[in-house]
Chains A and B, each alone.
Chain A
Amino acid sequence: MFPVHSGRVHRADGAWATDLSSDDRAVRDHAAADLRDFLKKTLHRAFANQLSDSDIDDLAQESMLRIHRKLDSFQRRSRFTTWAAAIGVNLALSELRRRKYKHLTLDDAVSATEAALASAGSSASSSSLASYQVGVEAALEQRERDQQLREAIEQALTDRQKTALLAELGGLPLIEVARRMNTSRGALYKLLHDARKRLRAHFDQRGLLASDLLSAPEGAP
């Protein structure tokens, strides 16, 4: 028997799934009350500084619903409480990220990075200015590297890959990029993984090293 993590809940780990789906309503209700208590405590431990008590109550309730929906898929490869806590944290973290980035649109995130790439080398920039301090030659090299990077992204990636990559570089978390692109976090990761492989192949074909292309400008802090 695994020890449970919550100080109040003294249920044997193996009994959770059974009790939560028991035909006996009293057993089921008691297990549900214990689970709600466990979720509140764990979420409070992880998010007390970021979420109110009311938020934690709501997220614990939402976690309960998700746990019930997924109960049949619990494979007992971990403690039930670890599995339940992971579900609660996943929901809470998603909610926090949603709130934090709710005013940042996909277009904003993409266009900020796009503008940075599009104007690379076209004028004196902060990084170029730093380069000027060590000489015009270094600035020209940096300009050429920026141009090669922009071309790689334009030529090697699909429009969807480009959008996802630029949004990620623009500071939007993957889960928020996924939400805005109407896809799952996992599917978005696969899209970006393929994009990275394409960029690497593009560089390899041209004898370019990503480490050189993406090195910080000389003289930069």
Chain B
Amino acid sequence: MSLSDKQRGALRKLLQATQNREMDCDTFVEYIAIHIDNNIDDSDVRLLFEHHREICPECEEELQLVLRALGE
């Protein structure tokens, strides 16, 4: 038995995408509504938000569900 290819791939993706500064999940959730209404005006925050979308599938799912809830 060994790590599955899925686990291996998930860890590889996480390590390759790791940055010194990242946005955590709680902060991401606070920005979801602001992002949807296009009001993240700080470019640094915008980059951190987009990076978090790539690295955290659970938060990306949450964002997509809010969009679906709003019918967008």
Contacts and interface: CB of A to CB of B under 8 A. Distances in A.
Interface of A: 2, 5, 42-43, 45-47, 77-79, 81-83, 85-86, 88-90, 92-93, 113, 115-117, 119-121, 123, 125-128, 142, 146, 149, 169, 173-175, 184-190, 193, 196-197, 199-200, 203, 210-211, 214-217, 220-221
Residues of B contacting A: mostly: helix
10 contacts: A5-B70, A46-B68, A82-B33, A82-B70, A89-B65, A116-B1, A126-B2, A128-B2, A193-B22, A197-B20
Contacts, number: 140
Given A174-B58, A197-B20, A113 B3 contact: yes
A173 to B, nearest CB: 5
Contact of B15 (A116, A199, A215): A199
B24 A190 contact: yes
Interface in B6-24: 7-12, 14-16, 18, 20, 22, 24
A214 B24 contact: no
B22 A93 contact: no
Contacts of B61: 93
Contact of B9 (A45, A189, A216): A216
Contacts of A190: 24
Contacts of A211: 12, 16
A43 B69 contact: yes
A77 B1 contact: no
Contacts of A142: 2
Given A45-B71, A89-B62, A210 B16 contact: yes
B47 interface: no
A142 B51 CA distance: 31
A215 B3 contact: no
B65 A193 contact: no
B69 A184 contact: no
A215 B1 contact: no
Contacts of B22: 189, 193
A153 B30 CA distance: 32
